[in-house]
Structure 1
Amino acid sequence: MSNPYFKFKQFTVWHDKCAMKVGTDGVLLGAWCACQGTKRILDIGCGTGLIALMLAQRTDALIDALDIDADACLQARENVARSPFAEKIRVVQADLARFADEQAGIQAYDCIVSNPPFFVDSLKCPDRKRTLARHTDSLPLHRLLADSHRLLADEGSLHLILPFSQRERLQEVAFHEGLFMNRETHVYPTPTSQPKRLLVSLSRQRQGTLPTRLTIEQEPRCYTEEFATLVAPFYL
């Protein structure tokens, strides 16, 4: 049986009630995204609250952690309440489109993060909650970008982690929504593998930048120095 919690340096994330467990993708995004100096952060599809907690450790911002699933929100609220950051994080159970309808023009976020569903055409799991958390039909990419655009402050940025195979699709959808990829890191599991994940920041402003590379393991169970440095503030 897998461990029902994952202990970080400043907080512990329980994931026994949540469809999607703590994983490398969430840790990567929480450690990588540029959030310094931000005042309001939105975590879309917060799940256990992992990314919201990581950003609360890194910033003084107020954070809204949003998820459509009741069990995920319950788990996130419990994790936040047990952490040193309870006063900085508000967990909201809501559909993103409805939340955007209610908040657009009232509340703008200078940082939005999301580790969205990404299993596009794979066989759906019989567990409905796990399916909802993993498949893009619960939050299509175009809907995520469109609603994020409505909620972004003028100078705000949207930070995502996606399968690398979706990079071209992301560029198309972002262009349609008036967003530009201004920072991207290609994530390689090992030095000899193909890129598996894309870490990307988007905003309304076009800024020419070159992609960077991040390799996670030098060899099995041996992290590279660059990955170890990135997650050092969090991993025990």
Structure 2
Amino acid sequence: MSVFSFKQFDIRQEHAAMKVGTDAVVLGAFSDISNQPQTILDVGAGTGIIALMLAQRSGAEIIDAIEIDEAAYLECVENFENSPWGDRLFCYHGDFAELVEDSDYGYDLIISNPPFYLNQHFAETESRTTARFADKLQPEFFFACAANLLTETGTVQIIVPEADYQVWVNAAKKAELQLQHRKIIYPMPGKAAKRTVLQFGFEAVAVTESELTVEESRGNYTTQYREATKDFHPKF
């Protein structure tokens, strides 16, 4: 059995197409919850890692997740049930549009580590293709659904390749969601940025920017990264 153990919860990932990785940990640890969201939705939850990190970080009463791949959905449910916050966590099996039709309330935070590769290459399995490539969750479709579920003062926060960030910003604008903050993620000093965390909302504000460097050198994490993940990562 493949299990990744954090300090307060375990992630079973035997069948999930995408295992625990830096992208999910960065988004779970560095996402902005200063508006104290009471309702959170994790789109494309995979193993449920981001939802679990937010359950640990926040006092949100409702933390929902949605996952289209059945194997990942089943592992996500198991990870939720085995966590200390099982009473606040729930995972739906289906696609984003189904949740838009069925949901009875809005979310103060919609968060996602989406399948973001925009080209037409395919991974070795169908589940990995679904998890990695945006043909299953196109940017415009994602934001159209998010806009229907977001509360008036809520935020949408995602992590995407730095090279493609403008595509996601343009798609958000079509759903009347405005870029509010951009955090540029560098793997190491002197290396090109690989990822960016984007925050959107209905309110148009002056866009702010920040940066994060993950490692000083291979296996040597920066103080900023360690400080933000020390309540989760077993090695910090």
Q: Which TM-score tier does this pair reach, normalised by the shorter chain?
A: over 0.9
Residues in 2 aligned to 1:150 and 1:31: alpha-carbon distance in whole angstroms: 26
Query: How far is 1:210 from its partner?
Result: 2.7
Amino acid at match of 2:118: V
1:218-229 aligned within 5 A:
218-229=216-227
Q: Show the counterpart of 2:5.
A: 7
Query: How far is 1:122 from its partner?
Result: 5.1
1:200 to 175, 195, 198: 198
Match status 1:121 vs 2:119: yes
Unaligned runs of 5+ in 2: none
Q: Show the counterpart of 2:16.
A: 18
Q: Show the counterpart of 1:38.
A: 37
Q: Show the counterpart of 1:132.
A: 130
SS state at 2:208 partner = coil
Q: Show the counterpart of 2:57.
A: 58
Query: How far is 1:197 from its partner?
Result: 0.3
Q: Show the counterpart of 2:168.
A: 170
Query: How far is 1:123 from its partner?
Result: 2.3
Amino acid at match of 1:57: Q
Residues in 1 aligned to 2:218 and 2:185: alpha-carbon distance in whole angstroms: 16
Root-mean-square deviation over aligned CA pairs = 1.2
Query: How far is 1:125 from its partner?
Result: 1.7
Query: How far is 1:102 from its partner?
Result: 2.2
Residues in 2 aligned to 1:185 and 1:118: alpha-carbon distance in whole angstroms: 17
Amino acid at match of 2:59: D
Query: CA offsets per residue over residues 115-168 of structure 1, 9 Å max, x none?
Result: 000122152123111111111001001111110010000000001000001111
Q: Show the counterpart of 1:77.
A: 77
2:147 to 149, 165, 179: 149
Amino acid at match of 1:49: G
- What TM-score, normalized to structure 2? 0.95
Residues in 1 aligned to 2:33 and 2:88: alpha-carbon distance in whole angstroms: 15
Residues in 2 aligned to 1:112 and 1:210: alpha-carbon distance in whole angstroms: 19
Query: CA offsets per residue over residues 83-141 of structure 1, 9 Å max, x none?
Result: 101001011101101211222xx310001100000122152123111111111001001
Residues matched between the structures, number:
232
Q: Show the counterpart of 1:96.
A: 96
The percent of aligned pairs where both chains have the same amino acid is: 34
* Moved >6 Å (runs of 4+): none
- What TM-score, normalized to structure 1? 0.95
SS state at 1:9 partner = coil
Unaligned runs of 5+ in 1: none
Residues in 1 aligned to 2:163 and 2:140: alpha-carbon distance in whole angstroms: 16
Residues in 2 aligned to 1:82 and 1:102: alpha-carbon distance in whole angstroms: 26
Residues in 1 aligned to 2:122 and 2:232: alpha-carbon distance in whole angstroms: 33
